[in-house]
């Protein structure tokens, strides 16, 4: 029982190793059976033909006078042949008959083994007598079902005077064939056994790359996607499979990292949004508490509290609107674009920009007739966000803000430049993240919720463009917006 269990453990019925081995052995066994089948019938014909040729040669070796005595009668000078004279000369169990040219059939010698003496039709004898073929034999069954080899050989000097018929039992010949077949089957079984013993280690070595892939796959889990399959194992199919799996693992790793980053961004977003909403709510709640304690009877305090609560509610309303806008753009990243001249849009906004700037110096440097595809309302929001950001970070009196519009390769570049406080280099890569502010203490020195630049980038992305910043502390900042001239592939 242990032995069977060990074999099943080594060759499980559903394993690739067992299936390859069984199919290999089955194919070899089938080939050996086919070879044995053809060998048996080819050797049968060869042995029968060889035996027939041997008997014909023996018949030819007998002098014609000896056969003539049987056909035309006994000669005085030649004694009559005995009944078994040619038995051992041709074959011990041979049955010999002589047929003359007129078709007369006479038994020349009969085997002591007994059995029926075969006789053909006169037409068949005549055809065999005058046949031009050197070999003339047939394999037929007698009335008792025994197979006989019937050999016919014409005789005569100068002309054919008769036909000698020799029939022998094919059992000795078939016994020889069966013996050869048994030897072949034994050798085939030994060959299959030797092939099995030789093929097992070869099969194990061939399946080593596949086993390596299995071990590598077992080491890979959601927390360890850096593991890769070996790609150079000397087998083209396994190497290609390894490359495909490695590509899939790379995509999975990127996907998991992106999901992880998205979850982290969502966590930060929820925390920042909660903080931004809590601050004005706390402020409003504080003013209401003061008013309920009796400050509402003082008209001066009442007026100040109401103004503060109104400002905080406006701020909270703006924050909620920005959050809804971001959620809308994330949910449906598609906007209507139309072709127009961007310089005309900026010229229409000039009055509004100068009002926002106050006493700051505003310069517009616009190249005329610059057309591209854009959404008018969204681009206005981009310009206002960038301009308002410049206003917040420049001196109210000495501040200078320049808005320029130039033609670049395959598109238009809008730049908003200021001479404000600038942005430290370590903060520049994070400027367009939601709720990101350089002032980490959230004192709101410059106001805002930290969503303006994030909204700006989302709008530019929907236009198929890009936004970047160049800044140096105490020297100012420049925000560059690129918009393509043609329709973007993805809105």
Distance CA 476, CA 456 (A): 19
Which pLDDT score, from 0 to 100, does residue 14 have? 61
Counting as low any pLDDT under 50, the low residues of the chain are: 1-4, 74-88, 441-446, 488-491
Query: Which of the listed residues 142, 169, 196 is the one where a domain comes to its end?
Result: 169
Q: How far apart (Å, rounded) are the C-alpha atoms in residues 322 and 388?
A: 15
Alpha-carbon distance of 456 to 462, in angstroms, equals 10
pLDDT for 1: 42
Overall number of domains in the chain: 2
Q: Is 128 contained in some domain?
A: yes
| Distance of alpha carbon 325 from alpha carbon 385, whole angstroms | 14
Tokens read off for 433: 């993240």
Lookup: tokens for 395 = 């001196």
Specify the 3-state DSSP secondary structure of 147: strand
Q: What are 348-359's pLDDT values in tens digits?
A: 989 889 988 989
Query: Which residues, at least 6 apart from 147, have a Cβ–Cβ distance to it below 8 Å?
Result: 139, 140, 141, 169, 170, 171, 174
Helix (H) or strand (E) holding 465: none
Predicted pLDDT of residue 413: 92
Residue 1 lies in a domain: no
- 451-480 b/e (C-beta count within 10 Å ≥ 16 → b): bbbbbbbbbbbbbbbebebebeeeebbbbb
How is residue 144 written in tokens? Answer: 């008792």
Q: Which two tokens stand for residue 355?
A: 């009002």
Instruction: Look up the domain containing 82 and give its range.
Output: 75-169
Residue 429 lies in a domain: yes
pLDDT of residue 79: 43
* 112 falls within a domain: yes
- The 8-class DSSP code of residue 221 comes to B
For 444, the 3-state DSSP assignment is coil
Q: Cβ atoms within 10 A of the Cβ of 416, count?
A: 22
Q: Which residues have a Cβ under 8 Å from the Cβ of 232 and sit 6 or more positions away?
A: 239
Query: Does this model's pTM top 0.75?
Result: no
The enclosing domain of 453 has a CATH number of 3.30.565.10
Among 151, 169, 187, the domain-final residue is 169
In a domain, 360, yes or no: yes
370, 410 contact by CB (below 8 A): no
Of 169, 186, 218, at which residue does a domain stop?
169
CATH of the domain at 82: 3.30.450
Pick the closest to residue 384 from 312, 459, 276, 472 (CA basis). Answer: 459
Q: Which residues pair with 139 in a beta bridge?
A: 149
Residue corresponding to tokens 């060998």: 39
Instruction: Give the list of residues 6+ apart from residue 24 with CB closer than 8 angstroms, or none.
Output: 195, 199
Do the domain assignments include residue 325? no
């Amino acid at each position: 029982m242990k032995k069977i269990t060990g074999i099943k453990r080594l060759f499980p019925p559903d394993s690739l190793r067992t299936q390859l081995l069984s199919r290999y052995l089955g194919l070899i066994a089938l080939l050996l059976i086919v070879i044995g089948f053809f060998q048996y019938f080819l050797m049968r014909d060869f042995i029968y033909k060889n035996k027939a040729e041997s008997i014909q040669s023996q018949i030819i070796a007998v002098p014609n006078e000896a056969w003539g005595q049987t056909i035309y009668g006994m000669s005085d000078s030649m004694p009559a042949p005995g009944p078994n004279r040619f038995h051992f000369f041709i074959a011990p169990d041979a049955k010999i008959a002589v047929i003359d040219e007129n078709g007369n059939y006479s038994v020349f010698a009969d085997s002591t083994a007994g059995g029926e003496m075969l006789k053909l039709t006169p037409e068949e004898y005549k055809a065999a007598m005058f046949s031009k073929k050197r070999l003339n034999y047939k394999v037929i069954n007698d009335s008792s079902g025994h197979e006989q080899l019937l050999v016919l050989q014409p005789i005569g000097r100068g002309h054919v005077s008769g036909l000698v018929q020799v029939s022998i039992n094919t059992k000795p010949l078939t016994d020889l064939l069966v013996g050869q077949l048994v030897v072949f089957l034994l050798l085939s079984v030994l060959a299959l056994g030797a092939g099995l013993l030789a093929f097992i280690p070869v099969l194990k070595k061939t399946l080593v790359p596949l086993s390596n892939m299995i071990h590598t796959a077992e080491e890979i889990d959601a927390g360890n996607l850096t593991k890769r399959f070996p790609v150079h194992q000397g087998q083209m199919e396994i190497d290609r499979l390894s490359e495909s799996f490695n590509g899939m693992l790379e995509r999975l790793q990127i996907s998991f990292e992106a999901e992880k980053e998205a979850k982290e961004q969502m966590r930060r977003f929820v925390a920042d949004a909660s903080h931004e909403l809590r601050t004005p709510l706390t402020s409003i709640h504080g003013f209401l508490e003061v008013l309920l304690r009796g400050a509402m009877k003082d008209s001066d305090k009442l007026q100040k509290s109401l103004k503060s609560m109104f400002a905080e509610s406006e701020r909270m309303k703006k924050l909620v609107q920005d959050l809804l806008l971001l959620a809308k753009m994330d949910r449906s990243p598609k906007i209507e674009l139309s072709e127009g001249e961007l310089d005309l849009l900026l010229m229409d906004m000039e009055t509004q920009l100068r009002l926002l700037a106050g006493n700051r110096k505003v310069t517009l440097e616009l190249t005329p007739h610059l057309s591209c595809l854009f959404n008018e309302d969204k681009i206005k929001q981009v310009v206002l966000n960038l301009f308002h950001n410049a206003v917040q970070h420049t001196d109210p009196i000495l501040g200078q803000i320049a808005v320029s519009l130039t033609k670049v390769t395959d598109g238009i570049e809008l730049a908003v430049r200021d001479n404000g406080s600038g942005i430290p280099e370590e903060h520049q890569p994070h400027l367009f993240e939601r709720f990101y502010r350089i002032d980490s203490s959230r004192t709101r020195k410059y106001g805002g919720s930290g969503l303006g630049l994030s909204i700006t980038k989302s709008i530019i992305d929907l236009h198929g463009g890009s936004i970047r910043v160049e800044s140096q502390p105490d020297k100012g900042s420049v925000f560059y917006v690129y918009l393509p001239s043609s329709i973007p592939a993805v809105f």
